[in-house]
C-alpha cells in the first residue's frame, strides 16, 4: 500500500491500482494505492517482476533531474 503522494512519485515505474480512501490515525482519510508490479515494459522479459534496462534508464534520468527519487534502484 502506498499513499497518493508516493504514487505520484512511482507511477512511471510501477503498475498500481487505486485502493480507495483509508482512514489513517491523525491524518483522516487518505487515498491509497496497491503496487502490483514493475511496469511490464520496464521489466526483464516483460513479466513485471525484475527491473530491466529500461527501468534503470528511466530511473537514472529521473535521479539526474533532481526529482524526488534519491536512492539507488539497484540496492
Q: Tell me: the pLDDT tens digits for 5-63? A: 999 999 999 999 999 999 988 889 999 999 999 999 999 999 999 999 999 999 999 88
Q: Which residues contact 27 (CB under 8 A, 6 or more apart)?
A: none
This prediction has a pTM of 0.79
Alpha helices of the chain — where are they, by DSSP H? Answer: 4-10, 53-64
Instruction: Name the grid cell of 67.
Output: 526529482
Tell whether the model's pLDDT for residue 75 goes beyond 50.
Answer: no
Instruction: Name the grid cell of 53.
Output: 534496462
CB 22 within 8 A of CB 30: yes
Coil vs helix vs strand at 2: strand
Cβ count near 14 (within 10 Å)? 19
Amino acid at each position: 500500500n502506498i499513499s497518493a503522494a508516493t504514487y505520484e512519485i512511482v507511477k512511471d515505474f510501477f503498475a498500481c491500482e487505486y485502493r480507495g480512501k483509508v482512514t489513517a490515525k491523525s491524518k483522516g482519510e487518505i487515498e491509497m494505492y496497491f503496487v502490483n508490479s514493475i511496469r511490464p515494459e520496464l521489466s526483464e522479459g516483460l513479466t513485471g517482476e525484475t527491473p530491466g534496462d529500461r527501468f534503470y534508464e528511466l530511473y537514472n534520468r529521473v535521479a539526474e533531474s533532481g526529482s524526488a527519487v534519491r536512492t539507488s534502484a539497484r540496492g
